[in-house]
Structure 1
Amino acid sequence: MNRINRPNDAPHTLVRLIAIALVALLAQLTAPNSAVAQVRPGDVITDRNAYKAKELVSPGVYLRITRGMSMQIVPSERIEWPPPYREATEKYSSQVRLSNDHRSLVGYVAGLPFPFIDPNDPTAGTKLMWNDTFRPTSTDDYDARDFSCISEYEGLNRPYVPIDYYEFGHLASYNLVGRTEVEPIPTDPDFLSSGRLLLVGFYPFLAPEEDRGRGFVRYRYADPLKGDDTWGWSPGSRRVRRLGEAFLGSSAGAITWSLDNFQGFAAKNENYNWRLLGEKSMLASIAVAHVPEVTCPTDGGASACPERWESRRMYIVEGRARMDRVPGELFGRHVMYLDAEAQCIMYQDFYNRAGELWKNYITWMAYRDRAVPDARIAIYPFKRVFQVGASIDDLNAGFATMCYLPAQDTTERESWYINMGAVDKNFFTVKALTEAAP
């Protein structure tokens, strides 16, 4: 990423254009759609009438409905960006462009890089993935505390029998670029000397006992040719080791934990070729009813259900790994389904190298000013979108992992601390990683 000098004044014409674009997007979201007409608010979608939703979800999500996941259809809700993020978009987006090789960003400061997407633009898919990278959900930092992931075999009316239980102390992130709410704004001065774009900390593992203390720290760089630096602490060797960029984390049964799969997609954009496949009205769960999330009683606990789903305008983006950059890529292609307002991935289908559907990822989002009604700390001056559940399902093995943010049985009920300065750069060090281990 090459940062250029920001203008002194935001162009007034850009503000007007953004307002026009938002009105046009709202019109698209409320326009009649023959496929959406098959489901209406008040409908309940189950395996018995899954056909009604077949054209409104990805192939992977549809399979999960046939295997027991249910949906409660509710009216669509407009998602507003946090005001500081909207203002940054109005101020800076006019100067953002893709590099000459169409892979990295030039001129990005803060806000949404590309508020106007032309579906005929051959680089539209790449632009949408950069929008997801700098999405409005968390621009400065976040700390997701005390959450759990539970693995089980999924299937229609299969009893809920947990196979693996994982509990984590923190999943935290610190952005050095694109900051809008917590000083330093909009760029941490450290970026100019280190070139670090993003810091991630995932530690300590609290359960199971054999993994207690395990953890990872990752640095991502703006240089498109510089791979991530990742360090891991292992309870077995009780030492830190540096991990290759293709590192996929620890495994839980048939599911592979990956730092690249958190919140939909978290790998380096420049390592993939992106293509916009289309846009349409589809179903997504972006304003859930339950926090903590509920365990689905009809699919073996592989998802959160019954839960609220609504019609959303979605972009469908395909990603294929550049094998010169990701030689260990397991998947032939990724197909992302991004919400056009929230600018984040709502679900993803993974295909193997033979082109067959292999795995599916779903996220369940809340749109509130606080995670739980009795929150005392994580209370925001405006509504924001945050993740409360996520599931990845190996559709061939029938083995799924459902994550709860917050965990269902934790005393830390607020879980998400977004753009509150809850973590600083000292958290993302090898020293802090090792000191957190028991």
Structure 2
Amino acid sequence: MQLGIPGFRKTVVAGGLALLALAALSLPGEAGVKPGDFITPDNASKVKDLVSPGVYYKVQRGMTMNIVPTERIDWPPPYKDATEKYASQVQLSKDHRSVIGYVAGQPFPLIDVNDPDVATKVVWNALWRPISTDDYDLRYFDCDTVYTGKNKPFFEIWYYQTGHYAGYDLVGRTEVEPLPVDPDFKHTNRLWLFLLGPELAPENERGSSLLRYRYGDPTHGDDTWSWEPGTRRLRRLNEAMNSTATTAQSFSPDHYSGFNPKTEEYDYKFLGEKEMLATVDAEHSPEVRCATDGGGSACPERWQMRHMYIVSAEPRRSFNNAEALDSKTVIYMDSEMWFEPYIDTYDRRGALFRNNIFWLAYRDRPVPDAKIAIYPFKREFVVGSCSTDLQTGQATMCYLPGRETPERECWYINMGAVDRAFFTTEAMVKMSETG
């Protein structure tokens, strides 16, 4: 059993398993790579068992890795304090379709791999992750879509740029008033609000936007709308559309930030815990376009050994997303950061389908020359993300901050940069028509 609060981690030796896990974590060199190694397609076999099958595919086709020492990742102090204050009162409902007693912080900091509910608890922890708890506004990021391959030259087949990737949480707030719960939650039952848009490029899709609400009621599916400026039409989307790729090409709304569909609509299975490679302290911001795989990733970048929980998620047949393209998603969850450095999805035939990678930086500001977004502690920032169709080789690589955008700081997390009024259909339409 492990207490998942960085800086307060305790271990109870149960049959020696926890002790062995800690030993493995402290000896990354025993896993087949060591700090200082540089991984290329020529020696990719060294990391085959240290990454997901989808990430291994990327390395084989040109993505390189700098192996660096493991670094401890601490949670933002307000999130840590909220976990210590409220976690003891949290429990799963009998049907696992809701969490009872949650207020703020991590709902289940005690992770016992022998717990029959461990997979479900890992996923609920990911819903209320420490990376952002109150609000966030990612301004002006851009993406390239390319076909990837070893030593393939960069050839952009599609370019995407948007004005905002923004969210507002009504529950679990730790840094910005109202704390810890927005009073609106009692009236609307909305857990969080999300907006993507307006689209700035390509020109023929300029103004397109996506708005999404998540609810606390396990039987209430997400409400999602899109605005299409060409037809001047506000469209209400079927929930199943969230699992399919939209304007961001290979990305689907359910995978914009790891695994993000409605938690209650999936069945979960714990596949194990393992020491694996991930980027949690990236060197670059903005990220560097990979020159050895056609621009389909960020490389070379720093990868380090991390302790991961591995969980599979399969859509329940009875819920609206039964039409989802993915029959299964395998989630690789960093046990300290509580964000998925990567996920793999499988199609309806059970074949490996898509891989999503997230490169994160750990610092007190999103970019070195920030003037506004500066924090009194380190926190995680996603500085790059990539979704690859492993059956065709097409990849969409996004840069956060963008490589060709007017906004340098890019990320504004838990700063009150957006409020509830930002996330209405009226505001979305107005922004799309004027932006």
TM-score of the pair, normalised by structure 1:
0.93
Match of 2:139 in 1: 145
CA distance in structure 2 between the partners assigned to 1:413 and 1:166 by the alignment: 17
Alignment of 1:358 with 2:353, yes or no, is: yes
Alignment of 1:51 with 2:45, yes or no, is: yes
Cα 1:329/1:157, change in 2 over 3 Å: same
RMSD across aligned positions (CA): 2.0
2:110 is paired with a residue of what secondary structure?
coil
Q: Which residue identity is paired with 2:413?
A: I
Match of 1:264 in 2: 258
CA distance in structure 2 between the partners assigned to 1:78 and 1:17 by the alignment: 8
Alignment of 1:182 with 2:176, yes or no, is: yes
TM-score of the pair, normalised by structure 2:
0.94
Work out which of the residue numbers 361, 369, 392 in structure 1 matches 2:364. Answer: 369
Q: Deviations over 1:94-118 (max 9, x none)?
A: 1111111022111100000110111
Gaps of 5+ in 2: 13-17
> Quick check: 1:203–1:216 contact (8 Å CA) kept in 2?
yes
> Quick check: 2:25–2:306 contact (8 Å CA) kept in 1?
no
Work out which of the residue numbers 96, 111, 119 in structure 1 matches 2:113. Answer: 119
Work out which of the residue numbers 427, 430, 436 in structure 1 matches 2:431. Answer: 436
Match of 1:276 in 2: 270
Measured after TM superposition, the shift of residue 386 of structure 1 is 1.1
> Quick check: 1:18–1:90 contact (8 Å CA) kept in 2?
no
Match of 2:398 in 1: 403
> Quick check: 1:359–1:393 contact (8 Å CA) kept in 2?
yes
Cα 1:68/1:247, change in 2 over 3 Å: same
Cα 1:51/1:139, change in 2 over 3 Å: same
Q: Which residue identity is paired with 1:371?
A: P
Q: Which residue identity is paired with 1:386?
A: F
Match of 1:4 in 2: none
Match of 2:155 in 1: 161
CA distance in structure 2 between the partners assigned to 1:201 and 1:370 by the alignment: 23
CA distance in structure 1 between the partners assigned to 2:418 and 2:260 by the alignment: 19
2:106 is paired with a residue of what secondary structure?
coil
Measured after TM superposition, the shift of residue 33 of structure 1 is 5.6
Identity in percent: 55
Work out which of the residue numbers 303, 322, 325 in structure 2 matches 1:309. Answer: 303
Measured after TM superposition, the shift of residue 330 of structure 1 is 0.6
Measured after TM superposition, the shift of residue 352 of structure 1 is 1.1
CA distance in structure 1 between the partners assigned to 2:54 and 2:9 by the alignment: 35
Work out which of the residue numbers 90, 100, 103 in structure 2 matches 1:96. Answer: 90
Cα 1:17/1:257, change in 2 over 3 Å: closer
Match of 2:221 in 1: 227
Work out which of the residue numbers 31, 52, 61 in structure 1 matches 2:55. Answer: 61
> Quick check: 2:145–2:395 contact (8 Å CA) kept in 1?
yes
> Quick check: 2:86–2:102 contact (8 Å CA) kept in 1?
yes
Measured after TM superposition, the shift of residue 413 of structure 1 is 1.2
Match of 2:378 in 1: 383
CA distance in structure 1 between the partners assigned to 2:80 and 2:103 by the alignment: 13
Measured after TM superposition, the shift of residue 34 of structure 1 is 7.2
Map 1:205-220 onto structure 2 (within 5 A). Answer: 205-220=199-214
Q: Deviations over 1:182-240 (max 9, x none)?
A: 00000000001110111001110000011100001111100000001111100221121
Cα 1:112/1:15, change in 2 over 3 Å: closer
1:260 is paired with a residue of what secondary structure?
helix
